[in-house]
Amino acid sequence: MKYNLCGNNVVLSDYDSFVISQTLECGQCFRFEKIKDEDYAVIARGKLLHIFADNGSIVFENTTEDDFKGIWLRYFDFERDYKSIKETLSSSDNTLSDAVKYAPGIRILNQDFFECLISFIISQNNRIPMIKKVVSNISQKYGKFIGNLNGVDYYSFPEPEALSTAAEAELMECKTGFRAKYIIDAVEKVISGDINPEKFSSMSTDEVRSELMKIKGVGPKVADCVMLFSLGRSDAFPTDVWVKRVMSYFYFNGEDTPVKVIHKSAYDKFGIYAGFAQQYLFNYAREFKIGASDKKKSKVGTE
């Protein structure tokens, strides 16, 4: 991977396995706005980033080398060798081979723990546009103004202390619905140190999952999302309805299979790459509506 400085921009060339839209729109994060094709505003780590593709390069607009190296390199997971991960997954499994070919430019983002935790608590029983709206509402109300792009104001996701001032009724006004009390419980546990990501480093993935599930509104699915997208646990395998469908469809003869069974088979098959496999499969399943009712289903491989 190579980058150079060009005026106020950092320009990334000679990279692989990265397509902005595939990485942002594969359901792992909620803090981005599409400006046009391969041109996005991204909010992360208290910064507003304008990122776009230009003649095969990726431009990080108005970005210092310090921010690029200190924030974005890690956020977009550019230090990881995705070629070998994709080869490993594809070589042993035809389904994965197809799923990887379908979206070879997905990278697993390294998001902020607290933001990721609250965002995926909000995600339960909810749709992506709605999740984005709720996270944005919370940021606008409790976060800090960080900039304007194309006439749109952007706000950072609040620190735990800032969000702790929120009453349940106020969170409801942000359209969190029944999840408001879950958010309050999560904030309390983070501030008290009851939930402390620094302590996680010495724990196994199963132990971290149990810790996270002490928070109200955090079950196995949300815990695995938080571990995969913000704690670098690549063996986490978030099993939501789509992953359940795609796994049942391809590995269990289309039979409705319990999440526990799916979870175990994923770990047996993919091991420490389970999280990457999940992301390729999830994207593939959602795009082709694999396993959804016939009305919604489109034919695999015809698009």
Question: Which parts of this chain interact with DNA (CB under 7 A)?
Answer: 26-28, 120, 123-130, 172, 175-179, 213, 215-223, 225, 238, 240-242, 258, 286
Whether 50 contacts 41, CB under 8 Å: yes
Q: State the minimum distance, in angstroms, from the CB of residue 56 to DNA.
A: 27
Partnered with residue 188 across adjacent β-strands are none
141/37 Cα distance (integer angstroms)? 29
Q: State the minimum distance, in angstroms, from the CB of residue 243 to DNA.
A: 9
Q: State the minimum distance, in angstroms, from the CB of residue 8 to DNA.
A: 32
Q: State the minimum distance, in angstroms, from the CB of residue 10 to DNA.
A: 27
Q: Which is nearer to DNA, 219 or 232 (CB)?
A: 219
134/139 Cα distance (integer angstroms)? 9
Q: Which is nearer to DNA, 99 or 215 (CB)?
A: 215
Q: Which is nearer to DNA, 91 or 125 (CB)?
A: 125
List alpha helices for 71-219, DSSP H.
Answer: 73-75, 82-91, 94-102, 113-123, 128-142, 160-163, 168-173, 180-192, 197-200, 205-212
75/295 Cα distance (integer angstroms)? 38
Q: State the minimum distance, in angstroms, from the CB of residue 13 to DNA.
A: 29
Q: State the minimum distance, in angstroms, from the CB of residue 286 to DNA.
A: 7
Of 32, 30, 211, 244, the residue nearest 118 (C-alpha) = 30
239/270 Cα distance (integer angstroms)? 14
Q: Which is nearer to DNA, 74 or 289 (CB)?
A: 289
Q: Which is nearer to DNA, 222 or 247 (CB)?
A: 222
Q: Tell me the one-letter amino acid at 236.
A: A
Q: For the packed helices 220-230 and 205-212, what is the interaxial angle rounded to 10 degrees?
A: 120
6/48 Cα distance (integer angstroms)? 19
Q: Which is nearer to DNA, 17 or 230 (CB)?
A: 230
Q: Which is nearer to DNA, 27 or 158 (CB)?
A: 27
